[in-house]
Amino acid sequence: MADPMKFRNVEVLAPMVRAGTLPLRLECLRYGASLVYGEEIIDRKLIGAQRVENHAFGCIDYVSPREKVSVFSTCATETKKVIFQLGTASAPLAVEAARLVCQDVSGIDVNMGCPKSFSVKGGMGAALLDKPEVVAEILTSLRRALPSEKSLTCKIRMLPSTDKTRDFMRICEKSGAEAITVHLRLRDERPAEPAHWDEMARVWDAVKVPVLANGDFFNRRQIDEFWKHCSEKECQVSGVMIARGALWNPSIFSRDPPNFDDMVKSYVRSAVATNSTYQNTKWVLSQMLAGGTGVTVPTSFNGISMKVFNRELSATKSMAQICTAFGEPHDQSKYPTRAHTTVFYKDFAFEDTKRPLETEVSEESAPKSRKIEPESGESA
């Protein structure tokens, strides 16, 4: 069975659209994150993807034959620490998606808190807060299908009343959730509105499984303040989930963080090493350089004013140019054609296979892998 201490006394990276890709997850683990959650992937987007062993970068990519892009990428370094977050409104589809990816992740988390229209209109995310019977079916089906050593969790938002939140948490626990993260905002509240930290003291003991808190952890001081706040309230929260604070500064998990320049350059190296697209790398770096609430960034980088440096970053159009801007070496000849671009898999030969819907995961039913090797003369 899953490690009962896996979600106890933890600080974890939250699932984030665009930001929660492999290089940021690896950087957060480097600085001490207990677990890292990947960005939410919709069940239908994952179903049909082919598992590709990308030996050129030491990664496992789940690639969509239709879109010819990697839907989800991971590597051995994070296998025991990464949680795959699933967007779903259907138990059968959730099981099929979990069947595809569970061999490469530590657990599956069901998104029940995203308020964005694309999620809610599909009956997913925060829409599930109004459908406890669907939630019960999804979680029960997943728990039955997943190997016992793979954890099953969910991330929810506060409901309109404390009693309703507590009741919903109990449904999740009864249906098989081994940990529950509560985003301490209501469905209609947005990031600019403060999280309701006090509500955690009123909901944490609704269930016996670990309960994690999410909302407004932007710097190390705030995280420490929250732990102190919980102690004073005799609130036995099991962990905190950090989103924007970790995007702006992955070393937020460390009590002995590196200087800002070294932290950012380390992210650049991870992005190169994991075949991150230059477009996503550029966006994440722009967020780090800008900072946010409670996070102050230096006025210069590499001896250049931050305003000028941001303009230079904005003008980059390749990973090589990004590396040059940050003073990091980059030899494109060492990498496969189209590395670090959105068309890396454009000419990949996909298998034309159809898999039957599975309700139980086994080694025999796990997807077979394809391989992509370094081209002649290239370094892995």
Active site members? 114
CB of 43 within 8 A of CB of 93?
A: yes
The CA distance from 325 to 12, in Å, is 31
| Half-sphere exposure of residue 366: CA atoms within 13 angstroms, side-chain side | 13
As a whole number of Å, the end-to-end CA separation of the chain is 35
Q: How far is CA 77 from CA 21, 35, 56, 106, 131, in A?
A: 14, 12, 16, 12, 37
What is the edge-to-edge ordering of all strands in the sheet holding 59-64? 69-74, 59-64, 50-54, 369-372
User: Which residues are 371's β-sheet partners?
Assistant: 53
Contacts of 44 (CB under 8 A, 6+ apart): 93
User: What are the phi and psi torsion angles at 71 (to 5°)?
Assistant: -80, -35
CB of 99 within 8 A of CB of 147?
A: no
Q: How far is CA 320 from CA 310, 331, 357, in A?
A: 16, 8, 43
Q: State the pairing for strand pair 59-64/69-74.
A: antiparallel
CB of 242 within 8 A of CB of 195?
A: no
